[in-house]
Amino acid sequence: MKPAPSHDFTQAAIKGTAWRYVAFAGGKFLIFLSTIILARLLSKEDFGVVGYAVTVIAFLDIVSDLGIGPAVIYHPESHRTFSTAFWLGLFFSTCLFFLTYLVAPLVGLYFRDDRAVQVTRALAITFPIAALGAIHDTVLRKRLSFGRTVLPDFLQSSAKGLFSIVFALMGLGAMSLIWGQVIGVTIGVICLWVITPWRPSFTLDRKIAKDLAGYGIKFVAVDFVGILLLNLDYLLVGRYLGAAALGLYTFAFRLPDLLIMQFVRVISTVIFPIYSKMKDGGATLSRGFSKTTRYVALLTVPLGLGLALVARPFILTFFTDKWEEAIPVMRGIAIYAMFLSIAYNSGSVYKAQGRPQVVTWLSLFRLALLAPALFWAVTVMRSIIAVGWVQAVVAFIGGTISLIAASRLLKLPLKDLLASIRPSFVSGAMMAGAVLPVLYFTQNLPNWAQLTFAVLVGAATYGAGLWFLQREMVIGFSQRVLSSLARRG
């Protein structure tokens, strides 16, 4: 089959990312506002207790549908495929809810905190609820109808933040975050059913189910290692340093995750179905990956470096000195998120090529580096600051290896790939060189004033650096974004 022109895929990628980012930015902004309020209403222990449940649920969530969602995107579209996937996902998610309810006491035993049992059982309710809308969301993404996903994502994030605040004001403590999440997921699912015309029929095709499970099980292995990488720090901090330390650590993780990692996850959600359509395109896929990496770096490098630089005035301005201990941790996590974001979408290339096992091997390599380093940080150093910077170092090494592997698979010269992201890092270094003196000379000003000056100087310096180093790229990217958003789908 003749591949579609590369500009069509680029237009779809930009427009899809823009639509998803509208939901992301709107919903996450409300979550940011709710976090400011909740940080004042709840204690470090409350955030830590919720961290227990979130960590466990993240592991279980990857097997809740056996990777059926990605399998549906990869396989040819048909109503029988969608319906079979819907009932399989609902069945497995329901079974997982009951299993989680039964084994929840083991979670309390592991973390040495009985409070983990109740929050784990409550959060597990989201498994069958989310399954009711999972295929609806997959149908929209497979058809590249990203604009329709804006409303459910936005409503889910908004409801989560709003109801969490209400429950916190009612004095529910850690459970306010749990019930806010449950209600948010429920509202998101209801919205998906309203806006998606597809409805499941009572069809369960055994051959299709076998094909979906065969492809999806590869994703379970990939995702399990990935989730272990993402949550190993929570597992170790929670067990060895306790709920208060885990609360501080998860809080420090929130903003880098919100600004950087959620952004690249949005891109990954958009780019995987596009890469799947480009899988026979040869050079088209190589160019697509190179452009994606370049554009991601344009945004995540200044976000990561900038957040690390202004962590102190930022936290003190929005969250007060109650969370001052999280400042050095956030700096390490911001750098970790920056390095991880650069190579994040290489996984979409392997999956689109039907080779998700490559992600597994790369993740296992990174895990082999991370596990002993994190264990040293929590048992010898007994410091969540050490945990944050260990994450940053391993992310740099793992990200570099991942880019090398992707360049070889795509027959894309590594020097060309590195050249595409070099302007972002050079401009980022210029930004850091300008912001550090500003922070030093404004340290006697109010925190909000210091933050404002640093952000303005940093943004101006980074923009000037890009304009000087690659003016044509900046102009071309801006024109492409504007034309993609103006073009009717």
Q: Which of 161-165, 365-369, 485-489 has the lowest mean pLDDT?
A: 485-489
CA dist 296 and 271 (Å) reads 12
Domain boundary among 175, 209, 240: 240
- In this predicted structure, what is the pLDDT of residue 158? 84
Among the listed residues 29, 55, 25, the one whose alpha carbon sits nearest the alpha carbon of residue 250: 55
Domain boundary among 187, 214, 240: 240
Which DSSP string corresponds to 419-477? HHHHHHHHHHHHHHHHHHHHHHHTTTS-HHHHHHHHHHHHHHHHHHHHHHH-HHHHHHH
- In this predicted structure, what is the pLDDT of residue 439? 96
Domain boundary among 213, 240, 267: 240
CA dist 276 and 3 (Å) reads 11
292 located within any domain: yes
331 and 195 part of one domain: no
| Domain range for 315 | 242-489
16 located within any domain: no
256 and 197 part of one domain: no
Q: Which of 309-323, 327-341, 350-364 has the lowest mean pLDDT?
A: 350-364
Q: Which of 21-35, 46-60, 136-150, 209-223 has the lowest mean pLDDT?
A: 21-35
Tens of pLDDT, residue by residue over 228-258, are: 888 899 999 999 999 999 999 999 998 898 8
Q: Is the pLDDT of residue 489 over 50?
A: no
27 located within any domain: no
31 located within any domain: no
292 and 431 part of one domain: yes
233 and 361 part of one domain: no
Tens of pLDDT, residue by residue over 105-133, are: 999 999 999 999 999 999 999 999 998 98
13 located within any domain: no
**Identity (one letter) of the amino acid at 386?**
A
206 and 82 part of one domain: yes
The radius of gyration of the chain's CA atoms, rounded to the nearest angstrom, is: 22
* Cα dihedral sign, 183-231-263-10: negative
Structure tokens at 256: 């880098």
351 and 420 part of one domain: yes
Q: Both ends of the chain: CA-CA distance in Å?
A: 23
218 and 267 part of one domain: no
| Number of neighbouring beta carbons within 10 Å of residue 191 | 21
Mean pLDDT rounded to a whole number for the chain: 82
159 located within any domain: yes
- In this predicted structure, what is the pLDDT of residue 462? 94
**Identity (one letter) of the amino acid at 369?**
L
354 and 223 part of one domain: no
- In this predicted structure, what is the pLDDT of residue 263? 76
- In this predicted structure, what is the pLDDT of residue 196? 84
157 and 180 part of one domain: yes
Among the listed residues 115, 112, 116, the one whose alpha carbon sits nearest the alpha carbon of residue 54: 116
387 and 303 part of one domain: yes
34 located within any domain: no
Whether 69 and 218 have beta carbons less than 8 Å apart is answered as no
CA dist 256 and 377 (Å) reads 20
263 and 298 part of one domain: yes
Whether 16 and 270 have beta carbons less than 8 Å apart is answered as yes
Q: Residue 383 phi/psi, 5° resolution?
A: -140, 130
Overall domain count for the chain: 2
3-class SS of residue 171: coil
231 and 259 part of one domain: no
* Cβ contacts of 189-192, under 8 Å, gap ≥ 24: 189/129, 189/130, 189/132, 189/133, 189/152, 190/133, 191/151, 191/152, 191/155, 191/156, 192/133, 192/136, 192/137, 192/152
Share of the chain above pLDDT 90, in %: 39
Structure tokens at 322: 């109650």
CA dist 389 and 328 (Å) reads 9
Whether 313 and 340 have beta carbons less than 8 Å apart is answered as no
- In this predicted structure, what is the pLDDT of residue 3? 45
DSSP code, position 259: I
19 located within any domain: no
Which DSSP string corresponds to 301-348? HHHHHHHHHTHHHHHHHHT-GGGGGGHHHHHHHHHHHHHHHHHTTHHH
CA dist 432 and 435 (Å) reads 5
